[in-house]
Structure 1
Amino acid sequence: MSDDPNLPPDTPPDPVPPVDPIPEREPDPRAGRAAFDRRMLEALVCPQTQGPLRYDAEAQELVSRAAGLAYPIRGGIPVMLADEARTID
């Protein structure tokens, strides 16, 4: 309480205005897929040819053109087994 006669009597503070809800985002087309760390690509090579791999984000695969194989990425982890790889043209 204030003792100053020039100030209005104590009143409750103004209520806090409601916060706008967080806008919903569009569903992520990669939902359910763990992200692949692209830095890992620098350390990985094709197990068949020891050559470079290309990351295909849409298909979630590491592609070896030299071997003609695409290695799947499951849960963010590349499966570098020829038996699990898909043959490409």
Structure 2
Amino acid sequence: MEDRTSRVDPKLLELLVCPLTKGRLSYHAADNELISEKARLAYPIRDGIPIMLISEARKIED
């Protein structure tokens, strides 16, 4: 059974952009993160709320 609180509204995802690059984000369901390929950052989603702070983002390593 899927936890509905961890899901993000798809309409919200369409509106969100990376705060650093202002670029598009992609949703990575397995890690429950929003990914900015351009900035190489992964923004966490906690309790269904995207945490759009650069200081909270995880750096994506090669």
Q: TM-score, normalised by structure 2?
A: 0.88
4+ residue runs of structure 1 moved beyond 2 angstroms?
Answer: 30-34
The number of equivalent residue pairs is: 61
Give the structure with the higher percent helix.
2
> Could you tell me which residue of structure 2 aligns to residue 38 of structure 1?
10
Identity within the alignment, %: 51
2:49 to 73, 77, 80: 77
2-structure distance, mates of 1:38, 1:32: 13
2-structure distance, mates of 1:33, 1:42: 18
Specify the SS of the correspondent of 2:56: coil
Q: Which runs of 5+ in 1 are unaligned?
A: 1-27
> Could you tell me which residue of structure 2 aligns to residue 87 of structure 1?
59
Q: TM-score, normalised by structure 1?
A: 0.63
Give the structure with the higher percent strand.
2
Q: Structure 2 counterpart of 1:59, which letter?
A: D
> Which gives a bigger RCO, structure 1 or 2 (Cα 8 Å, sep 6+)?
2
For residues 1-89 of structure 1, the aligned pairs below 5 Å read 28=1, 30-31=2-3, 33-89=5-61
Structure showing greater Rg: 1
Q: Which runs of 5+ in 2 are unaligned?
A: none
